[in-house]
Amino acid sequence: MIELLSPTRCIACNLCVKACPDHVFEAVENDIPVIARKEDCQTCFLCELYCPVDALYVSPLRDRDEIVSEEELAARGLLGSFRQRMGWDRSRPKGTHKDTSYRMFEDDKVKP
């Protein structure tokens, strides 16, 4: 579930409010958004892609809370790690041509 919306990184663009498929975030007037409905988070990690400043962290644990510290996540290189791997940049996909999924189909084990 979503565990961090960093108040130091967030620029209040509210893209997470818009892009979250489960309406987890809520915009706040003249302020940064809040995680308003954490229990509705489906742990899809997609808000991290849309966040232009790597201010969000989704724990891979889908049905229980995880206590996280921004400092530690940053030190472990986990803030924005999914976005970087996917090649997203400023809320846009830039890495589709680098998708190496085709290697999964090379040894003929998997047939679509």
The residues that touch other proteins, with contacts defined as CB under 8 A, are: 18-23, 40, 42-46, 49-50, 58-64, 78, 81-82, 85-86, 92-93, 95-107, 109-112
Least distance CB 7 / other proteins (angstroms):
21
Task: Give whichever of 30 and 98 is closer to other proteins, judged by the CB atom.
Answer: 98
Q: Which amino acid is at 47?
A: C
φ, ψ for residue 105, nearest 5 deg: -105, 5
Assigned token pair, 3: 């565990």
- Residue 79: C-alpha distances to residues 30, 75, 85, 91, 104 (Å): 25, 9, 12, 15, 28
CB nearer other proteins, residue 67 or residue 98? 98
Closer residue to other proteins, CB minimum distance, 43 or 53: 43
